Amino acid sequence: MSNSLNGMPTIVSHDVDVRAHDENGRPRHMGFFTDTSICIGCKACEVACKEWNDVPDDGLNFLGKSYDNTGSLGASTWRHVAFIEQTKPLPMAGAQDAGAMRWLMSSDVCKHCAHAACLDVCPTGALTRTEFGTVFVQPDVCNGCGYCVPACPFGVIDRREGDGRAWKCTMCYDRQRIDMEPACAQACPTKSIQYGEIGELRRRADERVQTLHDRGVAQAHLYGRDPEDGVGGFGAFFLLLDEPEVYGLPPDPVVTTRDLGEMWSVAAAAALAMVAGVAAAFLRSR
Amino acid sequence: MTAVEEPAQRRGGRRGRGGRGEVSLVPEMAPTSYYGQPVIKHPIWTPEIGIYFFTGGLAGGSAMLAAAARAQGNDVLARRALLTSLASLAVSPPLLIKDLGRPERFYNMLRVFKVTSPMSVGSWVLTGIGGAVGVASACEVLGILPRVKRVAEVGGALLGPPLATYTAVLLADTAVPAWHEARYELPFVFAGSALASAGAAACVLTPPQCARMARALTVGGAALELAGVEAMQRRVPTEVGEPYRSGTPGKFGRAARALTGTGALTVALAGRRRRPAVLGGLAVLAGAMCERWAVFTAGRASAAEPRYTVEPQRRRVEQRQRQSADSRTPPPQPAAVKAATDTKS
């Protein structure tokens, strides 16, 4: 991979090309690959996200859920590090103590679905698809109708108290536009969060899974990598070491609007039933 | 690869104690979610939205009844139904706007038209029927422009069914299991409920000798509503449909069926007696409101409980894994998942 563009130095880190534009200045489809097998739970991503995006605090709470005092993604939490304590041996060869505990950590984020329910149901057009293939809420358009909130199959987007608008991860759209990588990825000290062109990330993720399988970590699998899944693949996908629901993720998410044609047809049939009902009442009372 | 034989223990640590007998201070993980937290977000819509489902249905049904009564030459019934529609339409936008996080931006609802957004479609329908019924009502009250009134009334009647049914699609078009899985029946429940409430409101407001069509509509609408609810109870999977049967939504659902059923029966038997028609009509109206409230609150209960979201999805995944195992050509990724989930070995 070239580290220069026409001889100019470019910003490259994590040895993935983080420029959101190609050599001709055309936008590329960008994404996140979050490799949870090397997450150390430092929460640098949460902090960097808040700092860069001016996201307000969402309560300084002690939740008593391992090291997680953030809870879940929301209007004011765009990266959330989950901590899962399990009485399971570590997945490496030689770690066979049945009473051992393992600790899973995972930095969750908006999935930037290829078929995004939030975007589909938004009545104002505030939610849009950016030139980088991500899903973005335009704060100057959103009127806080709240439809995107129950539409998201992952429970990512939410309306901010006091502000009234819906907010979520923008994949640092402002940084993408000037070929910088998002704040969370830049802050991640272990390369658990990788940012780059989506095809390149998928190739790296496949290699990583193979490496882990070769090392005996058979549970390692990719979540959201498949463009054929219920949401058309995630723009931000994950390598997980247990089933998705353990991390609070739905095991088989489906974009609700996949069934919308069918739903409109049923509504049309119900509307015709109303017409028939009125006609019947009309004839009965003549 | 053989170094990862899992103990016979699935998803999430279920043992409270570690190997050395220490007590864990961290709560045990529920097997199907992260600390028992919901997977999807709580629908944040305020009670105003539940009330709007009722007023929207009443407005749509009444606009249809008005046009039908006019076609029959029953001006007494037409006037009352038209004004009922107007009154319901007048309260609807304030209810909707009050729910917005940024009410001053309500006009952004008409910034675009998107068929993928039932709320966008509904905003346009509501605007259209509001205009039509508004014009027709003005002509009616002022006694002017009879032809304009006719056209506006027909326009209102045509937009009535979309207004009454789009709200069901609005709910079904979410990730909330109790709403999405009821997508085949909810529009019929809402349609029947809308007709019943339009008929019932006219029964309450109209002299019985002019309300024959209203009585027939009440009974027919109530029958459609109850049939829709029954079909929903039968078809929606037991687990996902649980919120409709238990707790607050269950109570409202039972109240709705009792009120709608007895109300419709009373109206049917009332004939030309005013008092039973009024009482029956009020019961049907209360039943329609309870039904909407039951559906509205069932969605909240459904979203709050992670297993309603996770378990049907988990079964789909397992079914696919079985199928791919049967075909003996497992793709690499499901095979990895299979290895992680296989606990019987």
Mean pLDDT value of segment A168-175: 97
pLDDT tens for A236-268 read: 999 999 999 999 999 999 999 999 999 999 999
Residues 85-114 of A with CB under 8 A from B: 85-89, 91-94, 96-101
Angle separating helix axes B118-142 and B75-99, nearest 10 degrees = 140
Better-scored residue on pLDDT, B329 or A48 = A48
pLDDT tens digits, one per residue of A128-139: 999 999 999 999
- Tell me what percent of the residues of chain B surpass a pLDDT of 90: 80
pLDDT category at B22 given cuts 50, 70, 90 is: low
Cα angle vertex A128, ends A122, A130, to 5°? 165
Cβ neighbours of residue A162 under 8 Å, at least 6 residues apart? none
Read off the pLDDT of each residue in B228-236 and give the average, rounded to a whole number. 94
On chain A, the residues whose CB falls within 8 A of the CB of B215 are: 285
For A159-185, what is the mean pLDDT? 96
ipTM of the complex: 0.89
pLDDT at B327 over 80: no
Nearest-by-CA chain A residue for B313:
A252
DSSP code of B110? G
Question: Shortest Cα distance from A111 to chain B (angstroms)?
Answer: 13
From CA B67, how far away is CA B336, in angstroms rounded?
Answer: 63
The arithmetic mean of pLDDT across residues B19-46, rounded, is: 74
Residue A4 has pLDDT above 80, yes or no: no
Give the pLDDT confidence score for residue A15 in this predicted structure.
67
């039904």: which residue's tokens? B291
Each residue of B89-102: b (16+ CB within 10 Å) or e?
beebbebbbebbbb
Report the share of chain B in percent with pLDDT over 70.
Answer: 86
CA distance, residue A253 to nearest chain B CA (Å): 7
Query: CA of A75: which chain B residue's CA is closest?
Result: B41
C-alpha span between B128 and B146 (Å, rounded): 20
Nearest CA to CA, how far is B175 from chain A (Å)?
Answer: 5
User: A97 to chain B: which residues are within 8 Å by CB?
Assistant: 19
* pLDDT value of residue A61: 86
Contacts of A11 (CB under 8 A, 6+ apart): A18, A19, A179, A180, A181
User: Does position B111 have pLDDT exceeding 70, yes or no?
Assistant: yes
Which one, of B309, B332, B307, lies nearest residue B321 by Cα?
Answer: B332
Pairing state of beta strands A236-240 and A30-35?
parallel
Domains plus CATH for chain B? 47-306 (1.20.1630.10)
Q: Which alpha helices (H) appear in chain B, and where do they start and end?
A: 47-71, 75-99, 118-142, 146-172, 177-180, 186-205, 212-235, 242-245, 247-270, 274-304, 306-326, 332-341
Q: Name the helix (H) or strand (E) containing A149.
A: helix A148-151
Kindly determine whether residue B114 and residue A122, on different chains, have CB atoms separated by under 8 Å: yes
H helices of A172-218, where? 173-177, 183-187, 198-214
Is B275 within 8 Å of chain A by CB?
no
Signed CA dihedral, A112, A116, A121, A122: sign only: positive
Closest to A266 measured CA to CA, from B163, B191, B204, B160: B191
- CA-to-CA dists, residue A249 to A242, B82, B109, B192, B280, angstroms: 11, 49, 31, 37, 48
- Provide, as residue numbers in chain B, all residues whose Cβ is less than 8 Å from the Cβ of A268: 165
Which residues, in sequence order, are CB contacts of A211 under 8 Å at separation 6+?
none
Beta bridge partners of B153: none
Would you state the pLDDT for residue B293? 96
Question: With contacts defined as CB-CB under 8 Å, which chain A residues touch B199?
Answer: 281
> What tokens appear for B292 in the block?
């909407």
Q: Give the model's pLDDT for residue B191.
A: 97
> What's the pLDDT at B141?
93
CA distances from A146 to A75, A122, A225, B207, B281 (A): 11, 9, 28, 43, 34
Mutating which of B11, B25, B39, B53 best tests the A interface, going by the most A Cβ atoms within 10 A?
B39
How confident is the model over A169-193, as a mean pLDDT?
96
How many interface pairs between A and B have CB atoms less than 8 angstroms apart?
327
Check if the beta carbon of residue B333 is closer than 8 Å to that of residue B324.
no
**CATH code reported for the domain at A12-254:** 3.30.70.20
Binding-face residues of A in 199-218 toward B, CB within 8 A = 209, 213, 216-218
Q: How close is the nearest chain B Cα to the Cα of A251, in Å?
A: 6
The radius of gyration of chain A from alpha carbons, rounded to an integer in Å, stands at 22
- Sorting pLDDT into bands at 50, 70 and 90, what band is B272? confident
> What are the strands, taking DSSP E only, across chain A?
4-5, 8-9, 12-13, 16-17, 30-35, 79-86, 102-109, 127-129, 135-137, 158-159, 166-167, 193-197, 221-223, 236-240
Mean pLDDT for chain B overall: 88
Find, in chain B, the residue whose alpha carbon is nearest to that of A211: B1
B221 part of contact set with chain A, CB < 8 Å: yes
Instruction: Please name which of A120, A48, A105 lies closest in space to residue A79, comparing C-alpha atoms.
Output: A48
Distances (CA, A) of A190 to A34, A40, A90, A169: 11, 8, 19, 21
Nearest to B175 among A100, A117, A160 (CB): A117
The per-residue pLDDT for range A122-161, each reduced to its tens digit, is 999 999 999 999 999 999 999 999 999 999 999 999 999 9
Query: In sequence order, what are the beta bridge partners of A158?
Result: A167
Determine which of A177-186, B159-168, B306-315, B331-340 has the lowest per-residue pLDDT on average: B331-340
CA distance B34 to A215: 27
Min distance B149 CA to chain A CA atoms (Å): 20
**Residue A171, token pair as written in the block:** 């994949």
Q: What 8-state DSSP symbol labels residue A68?
A: B
| Cα→Cα distances B317→A250, A253, B95, B239, B311, Å | 11, 10, 41, 17, 10
Give the residues across from A79 on adjacent strands. A109
What are the backbone dihedrals phi and psi of residue A9, each rounded to the nearest 5 degrees, phi first? -65, 140
pLDDT band at B238 (very low <50, low <70, confident <90, very high): confident
What's the Cα-to-Cα distance from A264 to each of A29, A227, A248, B82, rounded to whole Å? 32, 26, 31, 27
